[in-house]
Amino acid sequence: MSVFRSEFIYALDEKGRVKLPPAFRELLSPKGSDTRIFLLRDVEPCIGIYPEAEYALLEAKVSRLDMGVMANRKLRRRFVSSVAECSVDAQGRILLPPSLMEYAQLVKSGPALFAGFGNYVQLWNKALYEDDIKDAPDMRSDGPHQLELIS
For 77-116, give the DSSP string: HHHHHH-EEE---TTSEEEPPHHHHHHHT--TTSEEEEEE
- Domain with 81 in it: 7-150
| Residue 2 in domain | no
| Residue 71 in domain | yes
Sign of the four-CA dihedral 130, 132, 138, 143:
negative
Contacts of 148 (CB under 8 A, 6+ apart): none
Asked whether the beta carbons of 93 and 18 are under 8 A apart, the reply is yes
Contacts of 6 (CB under 8 A, 6+ apart): 23, 116
**pLDDT tens digit sequence for 55-95:** 999 999 999 999 999 999 998 998 889 999 999 998 999 99
| Residue 144 in domain | yes
| Residue 95 in domain | yes
pLDDT for 35 equals 74
Residue 138 belongs to a domain with what CATH number?
A: 3.40.1550.20
CA gap 26, 10 in Å, rounded: 17
| Residue 74 in domain | yes
151 SS3 class: coil
**Model confidence, pTM:** 0.86
Using 50, 70 and 90 to split pLDDT, how confident is the model at 7?
Answer: very high
**pLDDT tens digit sequence for 94-148:** 999 999 999 999 999 999 999 999 999 999 999 999 999 887 766 556 555 555 6
Tell me how many domains the chain contains. Answer: 1
